[in-house]
Structure 1
């Protein structure tokens, strides 16, 4: 159960102000808060979290403990880099109403965002059981869906006014520090 809550909180925190949340907020602001958009967001969050949890679990069970820890450190480093990357404001000029097109763009954005890298890392570090990977996937899916729901409710104007850039930079620094500490401890440089 701790892996479920860790994945939930990690994805929710790192998805605030993320590209996928801004996209959903922009579409909700331009097209209205349709139920189809929200359901699509939750479905895509479930798929992306499931794929990354499966990948983390599958690779994690093949590695020795020190290699698994280094994999986790690399995933944390990728998550920190994505969080530190400046996000340009997004406004859909001619937003599509096609839920398939929206889901394709959301999936592409989520598969390379910090939250899903953290799902990968947590699944790789979790006990090597399918249940642990499933709990990580569920936590990541609910955290991602909740973040998209917040964007859907807030809309593009209120979300753009929130100071989420600083929060993302602080989280990026924390993940960078965690990755460095894990990597240094694996190499035996930290007592």
Structure 2
């Protein structure tokens, strides 16, 4: 997964870093290794890569090794990953710093598990939503307007997952930043409402 952070008008994100670095643009790349699935174990497959400390991914079968901002082994919880590389982005966003967190990987690599999770182990998205509303409750002297949109980009075509009519939408930039023309944005008042919209978008996808 990766996060990017920047003070300004364009979508961005951040890695866990001291508050003094909040105004600097930064990109953090974290690697999460999942355990072998029961099917992979039955097929006799072996672990090819492992976490060598907190920042190095090393091959079991060669001398190859790559350094990242963070590397998480298969026993690491999503909560720990969120605290290490995602929470800072959420906190920055609530202070007006745009942020992006995204997961990248091949099919069955664990993207959905990391981002959505389940009832026992919530993913990055529900953890972020919970933190956002906690911050709102803890900041009574400020007014917040929280809106949710949900889109997919497939074969360079942008579709609105909250509005079936919103197909092949146009992206443009103006003084406010990057705009998706015609995207549905729904104001939300609770974590449950926000997560219900995300679930509805997943059903559409």
Which TM-score band applies after superposition, normalised by the shorter structure? Answer: under 0.3
If you compute each CA radius of gyration, which structure gives the higher value, 1 or 2?
Answer: 2
Q: Looking at both structures, which has the greater relative contact order when contacts are Cα pairs under 8 Å and sequence separation is at least 6?
A: 1
Query: More helix by proportion, 1 or 2?
Result: 1
TM-score by length of 2: 0.25
TM-score by length of 1: 0.26
